[in-house]
């Protein structure tokens, strides 16, 4: 591991080294919390007004059992997003998001090409990669998992 003095000498603005050093422990919680909280509104919209449409759409595209899968996804986004943000059962939830995003990217959006602006797989692929990183890393020190002293 590189010592702080050597690291600061590599910076274009060495005085920022102290700032980076103090903020670095917050970088992982920032990614985890942001990922979790950004999933929540998607689940909220589904749970509180969009379930009929989602179930119908799932049935149209051949995702069956449509009702069960729609409820699973809505709850994963809403409740699972809150759990990711808190860092509770982090790896378990992240694994579910990885699977969900894999289906979204490859089974639903793949035929539209890469760019999300064309309905492509870019967005779910990015979310899948973020969830995979969370799965590999876990909740980190600033998480409910860490406070409980247990994680999956």
Contacts of 116 (CB under 8 A, 6+ apart): 122, 123
Q: So what's the pLDDT on residue 151? A: 85
SS3 at position 6: helix
- What are the residue ranges in the chain where pLDDT is below 50? none
Q: So what's the pLDDT on residue 1? A: 52
What six digits make up the tokens of 19? 């700032």
Closest-CA residue to 87 (of 126, 35, 149, 138): 138
Q: Cβ-count burial of 111 within 10 angstroms (0-12 exposed, 13-18 middle, 19+ buried)?
A: exposed
Q: So what's the pLDDT on residue 4? A: 52
Give residue-wise pLDDT tens across range 132-151: 999 999 999 999 999 999 88
Q: So what's the pLDDT on residue 6? A: 59
Q: How many C-alpha atoms does 121 have within 13 Å on its Cβ side?
A: 18
Contacts of 76 (CB under 8 A, 6+ apart): 39, 43, 93, 96, 97, 100
Closest-CA residue to 39 (of 94, 90, 76, 87): 76
Q: So what's the pLDDT on residue 22? A: 93
């Amino acid at each position: 591991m590189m010592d702080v003095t050597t690291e600061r000498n590599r910076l274009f603005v060495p005085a920022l080294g102290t700032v980076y050093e103090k903020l670095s422990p917050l970088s992982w919680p920032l990614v985890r919390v942001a990922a979790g909280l950004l999933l929540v509104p998607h689940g909220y919209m589904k749970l509180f007004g969009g379930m009929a449409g989602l179930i119908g759409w799932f049935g149209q595209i051949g995702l069956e059992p449509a009702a069960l899968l729609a409820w699973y996804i809505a709850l994963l986004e809403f409740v699972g997003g809150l759990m990711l943000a808190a860092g509770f059962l982090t790896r378990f939830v992240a694994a579910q998001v990885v699977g969900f995003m894999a289906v979204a990217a490859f089974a639903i959006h793949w035929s539209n090409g890469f760019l999300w602006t064309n309905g492509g797989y870019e967005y779910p692929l990015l979310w899948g990669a973020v969830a995979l990183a969370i799965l590999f890393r876990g909740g980190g020190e600033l998480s409910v998992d860490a406070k409980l002293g247990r994680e999956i």
